[in-house]
């Protein structure tokens, strides 16, 4: 007779919600600060206020603290500046 192997713990199926699954793009809500930003609602991107282009959060470099807007690049930032001044 062969010895009985100990029972293996059963693997639990973990279902990720939309905030945990990086493959499902979702728009984040962000508060823009001086030199930094704070994610208020998790997501993978924000939209450029000038062009409407989706900007991945890890590529976000340009924003306005006063207007609380993100920009895809320096040209979009300058365009908004010239529109408002």
pLDDT in the model for residue 32: 98
Mention every residue, 6+ apart, whose C-beta is less than 8 A from residue 57: 28, 30, 39, 43, 44, 45, 46
Tokens of 60: 């976000």
Residue 24: the pLDDT is: 84
Rounded average pLDDT per 10-residue block, the chain, 85 residues: 57 53 84 97 97 97 97 98 94
């Amino acid at each position: 007779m062969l010895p009985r192997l100990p029972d293996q713990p059963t693997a639990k199926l973990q279902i990720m919600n939309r905030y945990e699954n990086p493959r499902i793009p979702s728009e984040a809500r962000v508060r823009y600060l001086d030199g930094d930003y704070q994610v208020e609602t998790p997501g993978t991107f924000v939209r450029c206020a000038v062009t409407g282009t989706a900007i991945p959060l890890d590529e976000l470099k340009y924003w306005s603290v006063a207007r609380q807007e993100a920009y895809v690049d320096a040209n979009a930032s300058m365009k908004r500046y010239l529109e408002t001044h």
